[in-house]
Structure 1
Amino acid sequence: MAAAAARETPGTTPGASTGAVAVVFATTPASRLTSGSVTLLDRLTAQLRMLSVRDVQVVARADDTGGGLADDLRAVAKAARAASGPVAVLYGDLVAHTDALAAVLEHPSRGSRALVATGAAGPLLPPVRTERGRIAVAGNSFHRVESPDATFRGVLQVGEDHLAGLADVAEELADLAQNRGLGRAGDSEVADLLLAGLVRAGIPVHAAPLGGLHCARASDQAAADAAVRRLAEVDERAARLRAAVKSDDGLFTTYCVSTWSPHLVRLAARLGMAPNAVTGVSVGLAVVAAIWFTAGERTAQIAGAVALLLSFVLDCVDGQLARYTRSFSPLGAWLDATFDRVKEYLVYAGLAIGYAASVPAGATGPGGIWALAVAAMLLQALRHMIDFSYAGSLADAAWSEERPPIPLSVASDLPGLDDPSPRRWGNGRGAPPGTVASRVVGLSRRLDLGTATRWAKKVVVLPIGERMALIAVTAAVFNARVTFIALLGWGAVALAYTLAGRVGRSLT
């Protein structure tokens, strides 16, 4: 068996304490294919140095003989044990847009992610099935996938929190490979096997969609040349701009804001504006809107509504600009989330002040306007508390739940093990079929199948885009009392819907 050798590429910092470590497998002859005057391997390592990768470790062999899969997997385990940041696993024969690599390697979460794309599986394109943005099942020549909906494109990153699991999976797979327990799996499937092992071990791996970009492995020179031509056919900057717009936003945001906000993103980028600066302008417009609302006059109400909508547009632009320029920061994410609430409550106060000033009334203002304003604030705070506490409880459950991994040596031989449902992957405490909880979750999933019902689900929870539109329209056309009554009515329905869904999912 030929020995695998790891080397650091020029310009990297071996053993860097921060940043990602990339393990690139140049164990196939295709890695030495050329793209212009450079090999595919050199092209890929140059792209990695442009991103947030501090240490590029190339695994190669002195000859092209097979049998090195076990050594390759142990190289990954060694890198995972020594790393202090995310570890990425890639193939040296990849031909990809730099932004496609960045979708995995420069995501602000720095978590576990795999690059996927729609399309039929084939040679060097192993099938996967995704559920709610995560890899549910991953395949290769040893592990099958039932009802796949995407293919894995050879770029896998494992976050710092999951490095111990990566090392364990890699070592277990290496032992199996050494004992010929992985069937036909070969040394060109290292990342494919690791992805399947991570998913089967219960480690959450998010699916990073390829979008309009390209990323594929080359099998020969003709395939490499064709892949490079496909890269040139795509305007990578325009594709990055399209990818900066969230694909799962609410109805109002998707059709009334995101259809034109990319023009503002491009303008802000040309002006050199930072996302936090755009957030500051958004806050300023919200303050202006609140001040105009305090006047209580129709013209001022309309002006305030326009300023509020522009504030929301910029609230979308700051996140899109951060994704477009890849200028993420924890401070920016915190400021964005915090000021969303600040802006909304300032507007509530401005509306109440303007309405109360126009009509003399008692302690709670005309028509109980102050009571309505406080109730709207409390309802919105309660909704956000439920959302954040639920997300926290899921994270706690993921850490505390004992979920023994399926033995990789027998996983493909047992029927039905590709099914990640609670009956097979959980601890047996889920709600049995036929209960109210299971019916609620089943109904929710059926609603996702239809376009109209899926959008209805998004609208009923009153996301921020719909809230801002509701406030602006009712304030400009009617008055603050109508605004608060509408917010309370719709918000109560949204709260009940959210609670039912949270309880149902928790029980299943």
Structure 2
Amino acid sequence: MPDSLVRESTTTSVVVLATTPASRLSCADGTLLDRLGDQLATLTVGDVQVLSAGGGLGADLRAVAKIARISSGPVVVLPADLVAHTEALAQLVEHPAHDTAALVGTDPTGGPMRPPVRVGSGKIVAAGSSFHVVPAANATFRGAMQAGEADLGCLADIADELAELAEAGSLGPVTPVEAVDLLLVGLVRSGVSVRAAVLGKLHADRVTGQDAADTAITRLADVDERRVRLDTSVKSNDGFFATYFVSPWTRHLIRPAARLRLTPNAVTGISIGLAVLSAIWFSAGTRDTQIAGAVLLYLSFALDCLDGQLARYTRAFSPLGAWADAMADRLKEYVVYVGLAFGYAGALPSDNGGPGGIWFLAVAAMILQVVRHMIDFSFAGALADAARIGSSWAKPPRSLLESAHGGRYGVPKQGMLGLAQRMERESVTRWLKKIIVLPIGERMALIAITAAVFNARVTFISLLVWGGIAALYTLVGRIARSVT
């Protein structure tokens, strides 16, 4: 029977598989099991159940199934012989999505304690074990996985099925060491979307002997977890302007903001205030005030980046915060449009549509941005709907008795989508793809520069031209992706 180890206030449950001898290996904190328990105590988890009975692989899997069926939140499954950074475990336990995910390393060299996986578009699309083969593997599974609340029923069914197959000898000479590996294989083959939580500079390795455990623990000290946490708080796939002209200095504000106990929502509020001040300065219409407005707009965008960085660093995520941040971006941009139009109109005699039709241009730029956002968010919504509905219409789940698989996971994609993926691997073309879609960082830079150097008319015309190209590019890409 499972033994309760700790209790916290959240609904995330953790199942620790301590049924192998390696879990009793010694370390400075006692045993590897003790060390793992101390790490979990620092994370926001609920019940931690330790499976210590030696009933074999089938018994372990059935215990996981039982826990999955009675849990009301995500379930994390960890082997007690895992030596990992606490920050690595946090990528599962404290990720805001609380989704189904698994820790993977980008080293494709597999082994008995590092089963191969294939990762594509941030998801694990194929997973292996000593029985299941993965062609063209590009990563390895490091033993820690989480099943999101929506996938708990699937996890329970898979665990029971695997228990039956293991007890019948249908999976070959698999051992209790492979329990987590088999569960990941089952989830992937059942069509569950499994996020690849990439370790990056962090370490997570399973060990089999005392020498391996000592070496793995020593390796952990070579990495500054606080520095890695700070680095991962800054988006690695952000836009060009944000990456090179904002994040290099806002990253130095993350820790001070955390020490001051500023919340991400508070930073968002300050960002909105700066954008409103920017619009007021723009509305004055003189060259000096245009420059002042441009500087305030840049600072407003910098704080817009900082609020997300702070949220990731402190793990202070909430659906309300994400919604407020998205709405704040739209509000700030459109307020600035109004300020620019007022400033330009005040310097010229009035005519139809304002001086030089500036209000027509402002409204057109606003409508174009609304259409662009509609294209993006409606497509994202369609993908989410397809993911929810598609499981009942898609091809049946793949058998757990297939020892090898290829097909769609081993065949490169062709056509326009394949070209886009090849471009993504090249640094120059990847940045061009990011720039051409005119993300918010590039838009704020475009507004600030054209307003400071030229005038609002140039700003709106630039937004319409570049935004139109971006809308066409995005629309063609969405269509190509849909038909592919």
Q: When the two structures are superposed, what TM-score results if normalisation uses the length of structure 2? A: 0.96
CA distance in 1, matches of 2:400, 2:348: 76
1:174 aligns with 2:163: yes
**Shift, 1:122, TM fit:** 2.2
CA distance in 1, matches of 2:337, 2:133: 55
Structure 2 counterpart of 1:348: 337
Structure 1 counterpart of 2:449: 473
| Alpha-carbon displacement from aligned partner over 1:263-288 (angstroms, at most 9, x marks no partner) | 01122112221111111111111111
Structure 2 counterpart of 1:277: 266
CA distance in 2, matches of 1:122, 1:81: 32
1:489 aligns with 2:480: no
Q: Does the 8 Å contact 1:145/1:418 carry over to 2?
A: no
Percent identical pairs in the alignment equals 59
Q: Does the 8 Å contact 2:136/2:410 carry over to 1?
A: no
1:409 aligns with 2:404: no
1:87 aligns with 2:75: yes
1:20 aligns with 2:9: no
Structure 2 counterpart of 1:43: 35
CA distance in 2, matches of 1:104, 1:421: 30
CA distance in 1, matches of 2:335, 2:74: 40
Equivalent residue for 2:61, pick from 48, 54, 73: 73
**Shift, 1:404, TM fit:** 4.1
Equivalent residue for 2:149, pick from 155, 160, 175: 160
State the secondary structure of the residue aligned to 2:83: strand
Q: Does the 8 Å contact 2:88/2:203 carry over to 1?
A: yes
CA distance in 2, matches of 1:264, 1:409: 49
| Alpha-carbon displacement from aligned partner over 1:431-466 (angstroms, at most 9, x marks no partner) | xx9xxxx62222212211211111111111111111
State the secondary structure of the residue aligned to 1:136: strand
CA distance in 1, matches of 2:401, 2:476: 39
Equivalent residue for 2:88, pick from 75, 97, 100: 100
- Letter paired with 2:423: L
Gaps of 5+ in 2: none
State the secondary structure of the residue aligned to 1:247: coil
**Shift, 1:293, TM fit:** 0.6
CA distance in 2, matches of 1:480, 1:407: 58
Structure 2 counterpart of 1:460: 436
1:396 aligns with 2:367: no
Which structure 2 residues correspond to residues 4-403 of structure 1 after superposition, within 5 A? 5-9=1-5, 11-12=6-7, 18-62=10-54, 68-119=56-107, 120-401=109-390, 402-403=393-394
State the secondary structure of the residue aligned to 2:88: helix
Name the CA shift for 1:421/1:379 in 2 (closer, same or farther; >3 Å).
farther
Instruction: Tell which deviates more after alignment, 89-98 or 400-409.
Output: 400-409
Q: Does the 8 Å contact 1:100/1:213 carry over to 2?
A: yes
State the secondary structure of the residue aligned to 2:196: strand
- Letter paired with 2:7: T
State the secondary structure of the residue aligned to 2:72: coil
CA distance in 2, matches of 1:248, 1:411: 36
CA distance in 2, matches of 1:285, 1:305: 11
CA distance in 2, matches of 1:124, 1:264: 40
CA distance in 1, matches of 2:3, 2:27: 22
- Letter paired with 1:44: L
Q: Does the 8 Å contact 2:134/2:406 carry over to 1?
A: no
**Shift, 1:489, TM fit:** 0.7
Equivalent residue for 1:451, pick from 418, 424, 427: 427
CA distance in 2, matches of 1:336, 1:374: 23
- Letter paired with 1:68: G
Instruction: Tell which deviates more after alignment, 442-451 or 290-299.
Output: 442-451
1:419 aligns with 2:409: yes
Structure 2 counterpart of 1:429: none
CA distance in 1, matches of 2:352, 2:176: 76
State the secondary structure of the residue aligned to 2:131: coil
| Alpha-carbon displacement from aligned partner over 1:13-63 (angstroms, at most 9, x marks no partner) | 6xx8x521111101111111122141111111221122121010111124x
Name the CA shift for 1:104/1:277 in 2 (closer, same or farther; >3 Å).
same
State the secondary structure of the residue aligned to 1:411: coil
Q: Does the 8 Å contact 2:189/2:400 carry over to 1?
A: no
User: Aligned-residue CA RMSD in angstroms?
Assistant: 1.7
**Shift, 1:363, TM fit:** 3.0
Q: Does the 8 Å contact 1:265/1:320 carry over to 2?
A: yes
Q: Does the 8 Å contact 2:83/2:205 carry over to 1?
A: yes
- Letter paired with 2:83: V
CA distance in 2, matches of 1:362, 1:421: 61
CA distance in 2, matches of 1:313, 1:155: 36
CA distance in 1, matches of 2:39, 2:395: 38
Q: Does the 8 Å contact 2:344/2:355 carry over to 1?
A: yes
Gaps of 5+ in 1: 423-432
**Shift, 1:406, TM fit:** 3.5
CA distance in 1, matches of 2:338, 2:363: 9
CA distance in 1, matches of 2:415, 2:408: 23
| Alpha-carbon displacement from aligned partner over 1:157-180 (angstroms, at most 9, x marks no partner) | 111111111112212211211111
State the secondary structure of the residue aligned to 2:176: coil
Q: Does the 8 Å contact 2:29/2:35 carry over to 1?
A: no
Name the CA shift for 1:172/1:418 in 2 (closer, same or farther; >3 Å).
farther
CA distance in 2, matches of 1:93, 1:85: 24
State the secondary structure of the residue aligned to 2:425: coil
State the secondary structure of the residue aligned to 2:126: strand
State the secondary structure of the residue aligned to 1:61: coil
Q: Does the 8 Å contact 1:201/1:404 carry over to 2?
A: no
Name the CA shift for 1:421/1:329 in 2 (closer, same or farther; >3 Å).
farther
- Letter paired with 2:302: V
Q: Does the 8 Å contact 1:108/1:329 carry over to 2?
A: yes
Q: Does the 8 Å contact 2:279/2:340 carry over to 1?
A: yes
Q: Does the 8 Å contact 2:87/2:229 carry over to 1?
A: yes
